Structure 1
Amino acid sequence: MQTRTYTTIQGDMWDTIAYRVFGNEYLMTELIDANPSHRNIVLFPAGVVLAIPEIADPAPDNLPPWKRGDSS
């Protein structure tokens, strides 16, 4: 199994990266936990390669229907 990665662009932050890769900024904790050597970075420079962990279900159940993609 190949590990997914994300290469930062100047100005990236954990929440924006989480939103880009998972579609949910609240999953930034999982992203930080997968990259402990970069834990203390707040504003990324360009070119940092981060590991993207596998997330079973990136959409939490407590999102409103219009954010879940449900038609209900």
Structure 2
Amino acid sequence: MSTYTTKQGDMWDSIAYNQLGSVSYTDKLMLKNLAYRHYYTFPAGVVLTLPEVSTTTSSTLPPWKQVST
């Protein structure tokens, strides 16, 4: 389980982008940390649990955009 300790001024979307790689994970981050859902801008020192995110390429991408592993 990974965690992130907030810095003054952090916001949900910036945490998702910087820690998980995309703002599209903001909802997963919020769902994993429901106790803090009332925050828009975080104070320093809040420890958030980071959700597991998939690093696989979406199957909806055309083959020429998919990365081979």
TM-score, normalised on structure 1? 0.75
- Counterparts of 1:30-41 in structure 2, within 5 Å, are 30-41=28-39
Q: Any gaps of 5 or more consecutive residues in structure 1?
A: none
Residue from 42, 45, 50 that aligns with 1:44: 42
**Contact (CA 8 Å) 1:10, 1:46: kept in 2 or not?**
yes
Residue from 10, 16, 19 that aligns with 2:17: 19
Q: CA separation in 2, counterparts of 1:37 and 1:43?
A: 14
TM-score, normalised on structure 2? 0.78
The match for 1:5 is 3
Q: CA RMSD in A?
A: 2.3
* Fraction of identical pairs, as percent: 43
Larger Rg: 2
Q: CA separation in 2, counterparts of 1:58 and 1:14?
A: 23
- Provide closer, same or farther for how the CA distance between residues 60 and 32 of structure 1 changes in structure 2, counting only shifts above 3 A: farther
Task: Report deviation, 1:57.
Answer: 3.0
Aligned residues: 63
**Contact (CA 8 Å) 1:14, 1:42: kept in 2 or not?**
yes
